[in-house]
Amino acid sequence: MIKKFISKKKISSIIKELGKKISEEYKNKNESEIIILSILKGSFIFVADLVREIQVPCKIDFLISSSYSGKTSTGKVKLEKEFKLDLKNKHILILEDIIDTGLSLNFIIAELKKKKPKSIQICTLLLKKNKHKFKYPIDFVGFEIEDEFVIGYGLDYNEEYRNLDYIGILK
Ligand code: IMP
Ligand code: MG
């Protein structure tokens, strides 16, 4: 059973806000270019919507990581693709669908740091509060949520439900 949780309208208004904040942040830094790294698969819809609200020059690349089986993190994170763009001395903005334990991002950031970027900032649409073991500051958060398993708007349960235009709780 799916319980409606965050509507299409609420998602789109938070994305406009995030886009404004991110644009301001990088305009103030007076930087010419940022590299947006989208963590697939879950962030694909979020990224497509958010980048159209970002008003500073950017390049976009994708990473594929996986650690989940069903509703639980296996704790073992796999990166399934090498970075195509040169990240040295670049400002990186990571776009993630959801941070739960934070283990995936801890792993991804450790890998990214080896490429010597100038800065790494993080934007996540959803953050599960209380539970995360994430080691870094999270710069932009859409919604803080309780410890529930959510689906839709890119997020899946065993690859299903990504196509929902709202976020639901799977009961
Ligand atoms: P973490 O490593 O525990 O922070 O989880 C990272 C990834 O697991 C997220 O980027 C999602 O792709 C997936 N994930 C975590 N929680 C959920 C959820 O509630 N629904 C769907 N996917 C989730
Ligand atoms: Mg993900």
Q: Is the CB of 44 under 6 A from ligand 1?
A: no
Cα separations in angstroms, 135 against 10, 40, 106, 170 = 29, 21, 7, 28
Query: Over the stretch 18-54, which tens digit does the pLDDT of each residue have?
Result: 999 999 999 877 666 799 999 999 999 999 999 999 9
* Catalytic-residue membership of 139: no
Ligand 1, pocket-test mutation among 44, 45, 67, 68, most atoms within 8 A of CB: 68
d(CA 110, CA 129): 22
Query: Over the stretch 62-111, which tens digit does the pLDDT of each residue have?
Result: 998 776 566 676 666 767 766 778 899 999 999 999 999 888 899 899 98
Q: What is the distance in A from the centroid of ligand 2 to the CA of 66?
A: 7
Q: Sheet with 2-6: list strands edge to edge.
A: 2-6, 167-170, 150-151
Alpha carbon nearest to ligand 1 atom 5, residue: 100
Instruction: Please check whether residue 141 is in contact with residue 129, taking contact to mean a CB–CB distance below 8 angstroms.
Output: no
**For residue 75, which phi and psi values (nearest 5 degrees)?**
80, -15
Token readout for 82 is 């090498």
pLDDT band for 152, please (50, 70, 90 cuts): very high
